[in-house]
Structure 1
Amino acid sequence: MNPKAPKIYFSDIFNVSQETLSEYGAFNVSPIVDLPLFVDPFLLFTSSKPEYQSLHEQIIQYLRYLRDLSIKGNSDKGILKDLYCFKEVHQNCLGFCLSGNRGAGLGMKFASSLNLNLNNLFREFGNEQVTQGSHLEKLTLIRAGVGKDNISDFTTNLIKGYLLRYTEKFALEHIDPALCKKVRVARVDFNYEVGVWIDGEFTLPWLQGDYVLLTPEDILTKDDTWINKEDLRKDFPRIREAISNDSLRGQVDRYFQGILPRDHTQKDLNEAVEKVLLKFPALIDHFIRNKEDRGDEAVHRSFGHVRHTEEVFVKNLSLLASILQQHTEFYISSETTLEESKRKIDYLKQVIENQDGYRLFYDDKGKKIQREKDLQIAFKLVWEGSPSSADAEVNNGRGPVDFKISRGSLDATLVEFKLASNTQIEKNLQNQVEIYEAANRTTQSYKVILFFTQSDEAKVKRLIKKLKIPSDAGVILIDARRDNKPSASKASDSLL
């Protein structure tokens, strides 16, 4: 009798179909690990749905409230902590954390940066004249300390009440009551009359001592928000040229040229752009207005990101888990972690190279995984169900390692998953040599390197030869190319 593949997605765990989730509009999350999507507030702003537009206005109303407090001088440490600092809403199972679903949340660094911007650069926030509306992202475009994860965390906290009601409605209609629980949730809605967050009670899907939240697909994106720092820097020359006021454009140009070194680097250029924006913050509104005018592009881009994530991390991984369950004892092991890790890596290599498993890393349009973080998430999900724990980002003294496969303190093996296209791959392989040379046995760690092109394969093999890495040093190459695959794979062994 074959072991059962682990339940790794919301649909598996709560016995609902993917079709039911799709019809409801919710993304099929994994409580095992955060999937690489997050809420983009611009998608609320540009949506034609009244409930989304209302959510965006709710965010801006709260920011106006914070702005007014800041201008009045009501911004001591206690107020910042109470009104700006939030825990990550890890129950939505989305974001940037590879180790489970718990990130750092919003701390005092974020609070201080946001408060400073509201009280200094953007005292007119909420009353913009150039743009069609106000945007949270505007407050994060200049100063360091606020990134896309902060924007997503802040947005998710401010619309948490909506997400709770959205999930409760689905749970009451589609999930067995035995798999749900009535829970009291902190900081659900803000009471402006007394200036405090209030709690609420909801019946929600319940798993391992916590509730799970669903999020609508059409407010999610990947990589970066539509309004972001990188695009602002890239668009800076166009923004300068678009200034209709000749006097202002001249002031901006003279200031910019005056602070930019003659033989400047990209870093110098970025710093000069930031200084110009600090001195002339009105330029930011012109950038945002252009983004607003191209709102359809944001929706189209985000739709593609969600479809790619769904294809690779839900559909393909579910099929891979099914193959692993049907054809091997992948999810049963009485071995040491060293033996278990080697056996599982070898079998994954076999499936990927010879049983169409390479398709795991491509969506239906042929777009492949391009980030190592995505590769690591994929293997974290596949590894679920093992008797060994797979803890991510463990620092072994040489920097963080992707996974530590362990069974107690006396049995542990380090495993890293890398892309051959990584520009730091030589340094990474050198670290493997150091680990190998320090070991008293053949190997105590594995480095799995995935390649998508012949040139990347050749590059890695040259480096292995150059660094004189022996065959038993724990470096394993996996060919994930779409071409050069056996054409006679049996249908029963095919992943897709």
Structure 2
Amino acid sequence: MPALYPVETCSVTLITPRYGEGVMRFSEAFDLPTTSADDWFDTFLPADTALFIDPFLIWDEKQGHWAGAHEHLIDFFEMVFELVKESEGNENSISWKQAQKLLLFPEPYEFCLGVSEGSPHGAGSGKGLQKEMLEGVKVATGLGIGRIAHMEMLTLFQGGMGVDRLSDMTCNILKSYFIEYTQEVARRHEIPVQPATVANATWDREFCRWKGGTFDLPINPYIGKPVILTPERFLRQMPVATPDGFWSYAWSTASEELRGDLTFDIARNVSRREKAKLARQNPDVVALYLRQLENEEKKPYSVSDDPNLIVKWYELGSKLTEEKPLSFVAKNPDEFERFIEVIIENFRHSIEEQDGWQLLWNKNHGREERAAQALFRSCVIHYCRANEIDLTGESNAGRGPVDFKFSQGWSRRALVEIKLVRNSKFWDGVLAQQPQYQVSEEVSRGFFVAVGYTDAHCHAALKKKIDDAAQLVSQHTGKRITGMLIDARQKTSASKLHEAELSSELKANKPEDDTDPPTSPSTGQ
């Protein structure tokens, strides 16, 4: 375990952001010039970034500060294994209850990672996941397993968990390593620190319990609580080890006898429960799968390229907003719908007419749907703040997540869906999902925004079809839905545009004595 630097008392004072509301990232808040020695992720302080710490990337560390981190992670689960074994499956025993407490992981808000909306506070890993993890441990001990090489084995035994939950667990169990890492960064850059209380800062093997503590750490000016940093190289969008990956591995490598025992004919649509059953019945195959992953190249998310606009979404959206100020400001609540129409139109204009389309392309390839959604959010969030309109991203509408919900009180609300035309479920979006969301959320006004990357996807006939579909659904459901197609094709620079037909007509109408301007001998122009 790394050496920590605790303090005796806790008295956190909210730091005034150096650049007021403009402060967004850790480096900006503390005015840090970064160097090649700085491998930490420059986290976005006001809200979570949808990246996650993957324990498999920490496993690769063989020297330096992180060399013992993965072993520390596995030691934690060995402690839980011992408690479950002592309990003999008796859920009323002290050992079982102690194991329960250890497997309850609070949201590690200090990292500003995950999927919380609006702030770095999330739900953490609740009792439902705790129960599933205990079942996984119980199964493992029943198979005679006393120590595992990777914590992912347990997640496969219970059918896998969301990457955010896996990350929460890793952050909690290894928090002492991350605290010491952050303190080292603070010392190197002379970053102001304050004493702050940290939950689950360490865990005690002797007494089998979590221990909180107070430590000198940088303070997030937006929530008045500590910031804990992580190296970029530990961050991913999806975990390395997944139930789908294990199922595919078992199918491709398992013996004919194993295949005969399993319903591999439904491999593509098999349930989470069936995958968990396969893992529990074949722990040796799970171990082989994880061992194979050890030898495979495991790439973290490329923060510099940011292919899905997970990291730089706010800055890029701010730039588009500055280039396209809002032409309409809602002066009274009755103008709410008009305001939503205007901000969507502003976004369309920024993409089509102001080179915003470039932000939706990465290395000659149109970005994924989430990137388009992130860019839209980063643009409109500024307009909404200025007009006191609430914006919620991916709210749960009962039948699935809604991309964006705008509201100003209960009676004035609107839903906006952003879909790529290339999405295989594109037409389901406008014909079924969008109206269902509006019914579930009791919202009468909706906008279905399509984004096209190719000529076929931006054709006038497709635009008319989207309009017709929106009108048809509106008539059928009584919910007013407007369709829009945004042309995000790669554009030619305005300086290189050449209209052949107009140019020919102009030449045909020239006076006989008129001549073309001379060509510059030095430039050829």
Q: State the TM-score, normalizing by the size of structure 1.
A: 0.79
- The reply to whether residue 112 of structure 1 matches residue 95 of structure 2 is no
CA distance 1:406–1:433, change in 2 (3 Å): closer
- Partners of 1:489 and 1:27 lie apart in 2 by 39
Residue 409 of structure 1 is matched in structure 2 by 410
* Cα contact 2:54–2:236 (8 A) shared by 1: yes
CA distance 1:404–1:259, change in 2 (3 Å): closer
Structure 1 segments unaligned to the other structure (5+ residues): 129-133, 241-248, 491-496
CA distance 1:433–1:61, change in 2 (3 Å): closer
Secondary structure in 2 matching 1:469: helix
- The reply to whether residue 359 of structure 1 matches residue 373 of structure 2 is no
1:167-178 correspondence runs (5 A): 167-171=182-186, 174=189, 177=192
Residue 394 of structure 2 is matched in structure 1 by 393
Q: Deviations over 1:370-425 (max 9, x none)?
A: 243x4333333333332322122345577542222223334333222222223332
Q: Deviations over 1:53-95 (max 9, x none)?
A: 2111111110100001111117557434411011121332222
Which structure has the higher relative contact order (CA within 8 Å, separation 6+)?
A: 1
Amino acid at match of 2:107: E
1:273-422 correspondence runs (5 A): 275-294=277-296, 297-298=297-298, 301-303=299-301, 305-309=302-306, 312-315=309-312, 317-329=314-326, 334=331, 336-363=335-362, 365-372=363-370, 374-385=371-382, 386-387=385-386, 388-395=389-396, 400-422=401-423
* Cα contact 1:450–1:478 (8 A) shared by 2: yes
Secondary structure in 1 matching 2:98: helix
* Cα contact 2:347–2:376 (8 A) shared by 1: no
1:157-168 correspondence runs (5 A): 157-168=172-183
Residue 494 of structure 1 is matched in structure 2 by none
Residue 246 of structure 1 is matched in structure 2 by none
Question: Which residue of the other structure, out of 469, 472, 486, is the alignment partner of 2:471?
Answer: 469
* Cα contact 2:159–2:272 (8 A) shared by 1: no
- Partners of 1:126 and 1:45 lie apart in 2 by 20
The percent identity for this pair of structures is: 23
CA distance 1:337–1:168, change in 2 (3 Å): farther
Residue 425 of structure 1 is matched in structure 2 by 426
Q: Deviations over 1:447-478 (max 9, x none)?
A: 22222223334585364255262899422221
Residue 196 of structure 1 is matched in structure 2 by 209
Secondary structure in 2 matching 1:16: coil
Amino acid at match of 2:428: K
Residue 157 of structure 2 is matched in structure 1 by 142
Residue 4 of structure 2 is matched in structure 1 by none
* Cα contact 1:417–1:450 (8 A) shared by 2: yes
Deviation of the 1:290 alpha carbon = 1.3
Deviation of the 1:264 alpha carbon = 4.9
1:43-58 correspondence runs (5 A): 43-58=57-72
- Partners of 1:331 and 1:26 lie apart in 2 by 41
* Cα contact 1:8–1:30 (8 A) shared by 2: no
Question: Which residue of the other structure, out of 38, 41, 45, is the alignment partner of 1:31?
Answer: 45
Deviation of the 1:433 alpha carbon = 8.1
* Cα contact 2:25–2:45 (8 A) shared by 1: yes
Q: State the TM-score, normalizing by the size of structure 2.
A: 0.75
Residue 447 of structure 2 is matched in structure 1 by 446
Question: Which residue of the other structure, out of 97, 112, 115, is the alignment partner of 2:116?
Answer: 97
- Partners of 2:456 and 2:230 lie apart in 1 by 40
CA distance 1:330–1:318, change in 2 (3 Å): farther
Amino acid at match of 1:93: C
Residue 42 of structure 1 is matched in structure 2 by 56
- Partners of 2:331 and 2:319 lie apart in 1 by 21
Residue 260 of structure 2 is matched in structure 1 by 257
CA distance 1:183–1:264, change in 2 (3 Å): closer
Deviation of the 1:45 alpha carbon = 0.9
CA distance 1:200–1:398, change in 2 (3 Å): closer
Amino acid at match of 2:86: K
Equivalenced residue count is: 454
Deviation of the 1:22 alpha carbon = 6.7
CA distance 1:467–1:412, change in 2 (3 Å): closer
* Cα contact 1:260–1:272 (8 A) shared by 2: no
- The reply to whether residue 14 of structure 1 matches residue 29 of structure 2 is yes
- Partners of 2:423 and 2:290 lie apart in 1 by 33
Between 1:459-468 and 1:348-357, the stretch displaced more is: 459-468
* Cα contact 2:81–2:146 (8 A) shared by 1: no
* Cα contact 2:324–2:350 (8 A) shared by 1: no
1:55-74 correspondence runs (5 A): 55-73=69-87
Question: Which residue of the other structure, out of 476, 479, 493, is the alignment partner of 2:487?
Answer: 479
Secondary structure in 2 matching 1:413: strand
* Cα contact 1:436–1:444 (8 A) shared by 2: no
- Partners of 1:322 and 1:165 lie apart in 2 by 36
- The reply to whether residue 488 of structure 1 matches residue 495 of structure 2 is yes
* Cα contact 1:317–1:360 (8 A) shared by 2: no
- Partners of 2:147 and 2:435 lie apart in 1 by 59
1:124-135 correspondence runs (5 A): 125=145, 127=147, 134-135=149-150
- Partners of 1:316 and 1:393 lie apart in 2 by 16
Secondary structure in 1 matching 2:309: helix
Secondary structure in 1 matching 2:394: strand
Secondary structure in 2 matching 1:141: helix
Deviation of the 1:112 alpha carbon = 2.1
- Partners of 1:5 and 1:59 lie apart in 2 by 39
Deviation of the 1:427 alpha carbon = 2.6
Deviation of the 1:12 alpha carbon = 6.9
CA RMSD of superposed structures (Å) = 3.7
Structure 2 segments unaligned to the other structure (5+ residues): 1-18, 475-479, 498-525
CA distance 1:6–1:418, change in 2 (3 Å): farther
Secondary structure in 1 matching 2:43: coil
Deviation of the 1:34 alpha carbon = 2.5
Deviation of the 1:204 alpha carbon = 2.1
